[in-house]
Amino acid sequence: MTSLMEFKEVDVHYGPIQALKKVSLTVNEGEIVTLIGANGAGKSTLLMSIFGQPRISSGEIIYRGEDISQKSAHYVASNGLAQSPEGRRIFPSMSVEENLLMGTIPIGMDHAEEDMQRMFELFPRLLERRNQRASTMSGGEQQMLAIGRALMSRPKLLLLDEPSLGLAPIIVKQIFQILRDVASSGMTIFLVEQNANHALKLANRGYVMVNGEIRMTGSGQELLVNPEVREAYLGGH
């Protein structure tokens, strides 16, 4: 397997607080890898460090053979890494179409029309609402838009920060079905989630983060049946 992204013993500090402690993990080409952990475990910090905010204090972040830990966010984004951030961060006063077009910034507009059609096939709901202001859409629709916008940059690795956050169970199911479809087209996905049940069912492999450290790793299936994981993240059922 070819490694696409690798964290090697990464530390991150916020002043006196150490948010990541010697974190090592790998995402191989074509895989869906998930990182699960409680509130405050350091999951968002890890994702944001890929774009250099915050900067890591030691270790390396290797992407396609190159250490990107000191590169600019623009460099990282224009080399095939796209993120659907926590809380979605769509542009509220822009339409669906305009939001999608913002996703092309790292690569330019050459494929914009064609890619927008692909997004509308993947998310028919967005097609119905293509001229609607994003702020007036439901949480689930906004999440679809955030994922669609990330895909508009034709990423090699799609990073997702808690796509299920604040959504009703039925919408969460839909979002995960869409991620399955995206993955079956060959996309590599790194998914950060508190919803361990959905995330581990979707993922080939998973990592469990506790207080800034990787505590456990295994296949999605192994972690799903692991008693410690069940107790801590799956309500013990």
Ligand X SMILES: Nc1ncnc2c1ncn2[C@@H]1O[C@H](COP(=O)(O)OP(=O)(O)OP(=O)(O)O)[C@@H](O)[C@H]1O
Name the site residues for ligand X (rule: CB under 6 A): 14, 17, 19, 37, 39-45, 86, 194
> Which residue's CB is nearer to ligand X, number 3 or number 44?
44
Shortest CB 37 distance to ligand X, Å: 5
3-state secondary structure of 157: strand
Distances from the Cα of 27 to the Cα of 43, 111, 209, 214, angstroms: 15, 27, 15, 14
* Separation of alpha carbons 20 and 215, rounded Å: 12
> Which residue's CB is nearer to ligand X, number 42 or number 155?
42
Shortest CB 146 distance to ligand X, Å: 16
H helices within the chain, ranges in order? 43-50, 73-78, 96-102, 112-122, 124-128, 139-151, 169-184, 196-202, 220-225, 227-233
**113 membership: H or E segment, kind and range:** helix 112-122
**150 membership: H or E segment, kind and range:** helix 139-151
The answer to whether 148 touches 134, Cβ cutoff 8 Å, is no
> Which residue's CB is nearer to ligand X, number 43 or number 129?
43
Shortest CB 78 distance to ligand X, Å: 25
Shortest CB 15 distance to ligand X, Å: 7
- Structural tokens at position 1: 């397997």
> Which residue's CB is nearer to ligand X, number 42 or number 106?
42
Neighbours of 227 (CB within 10 A): 8
The answer to whether 217 touches 36, Cβ cutoff 8 Å, is no
* Separation of alpha carbons 89 and 56, rounded Å: 24
Shortest CB 224 distance to ligand X, Å: 20
Shortest CB 192 distance to ligand X, Å: 7
> Which residue's CB is nearer to ligand X, number 35 or number 134?
35
> Which residue's CB is nearer to ligand X, number 21 or number 230?
21
Shortest CB 161 distance to ligand X, Å: 7
**15 membership: H or E segment, kind and range:** none
Identify the CA nearest to 54 among candidates 20, 91, 5, 88: 20
> Which residue's CB is nearer to ligand X, number 60 or number 86?
86
